[in-house]
Structure 1
Amino acid sequence: MEQTFIMIKPDGVHRNLISEIIGRFKCSGFHLKGLKVLNAERSIAEKHYEDLAGKRYFPALVGDITSGPVVVVAMVWEGDNVIVNCRKIIGASDPSKWEPGTVRADYAIEIGRNVIHGSDSIESARKEIALWFPEGLFGWKCNLY
């Protein structure tokens, strides 16, 4: 079973898009394993985006993610290429590549306000889940499927 990390960014929370975005994953058959609503501390945001620290937009990115509450969602599901498939639901980071029907095409305003973050690899998912859920995920298992 693979895990991935999904975060609804402050612009998505402010625009009350939480249920619509979570619904995209739920309708895809993914199993919700953890959910938090919190304000991101600057130190966690900087660690989360540390691979982008050298980019000119890093301060704005950290500023955006700490500007208000975020909904931190970690979901677990089984299958081949699950992270790739999740990224297809989210949509590309580049606005010129947003495909109709993706979360970003439907709800994002611009590259810096694209309402959602999703892990791009198994390694980043493990790192991000450990960062945002230091207490771990509970052992709940859905027996409905």
Structure 2
Amino acid sequence: MRWDYTSPDRQVLISDGKLFSMYFEKLHQMIVTPAEKLKNDLTYSFFIGHSKLMDDFYVLTPDPDIGGNREGMNVIKLVPKIPHAQIENIHLWVTGDSLIRRITLLDHFGTETVLSFSDIKIDPLKDLDEKAIRKIFSFTPPENTEIIEQ
């Protein structure tokens, strides 16, 4: 998994299944932790597709202010079955061909994080050789980055 954020601040989140690294440009820090330590973390499992949604979440109709069908997409609300310290609920905007185009995460303080996806490519790695794949899933932070290993 690799996610590159450009705004509001540059971040790179990358996992090869063994390590999970989070680079925060603004803080000049990169946190590296074994992926094994995160296997039971609901947020991490959600984003890497480690578990089935129905196992970890109640699937509900969206909140009224979210709307049910936007731009031809269906919207569902996910509420953790076991209360989670960081996530109160998640709304997913899903296309007819099951692509997630938008995710809204709401925490317990009312802070909403919106992730919008565009230029989605299905299975873009299938025709790449191992060297090209390793290049995609590696990241070297700039000099003077504090590396924090957990």
TM-score calculated relative to the size of structure 2: 0.26
Structure number with greater CO (CA < 8 Å, separation at least 6) is 1
- Richer in helix (by share): 1
- Richer in strand (by share): 2
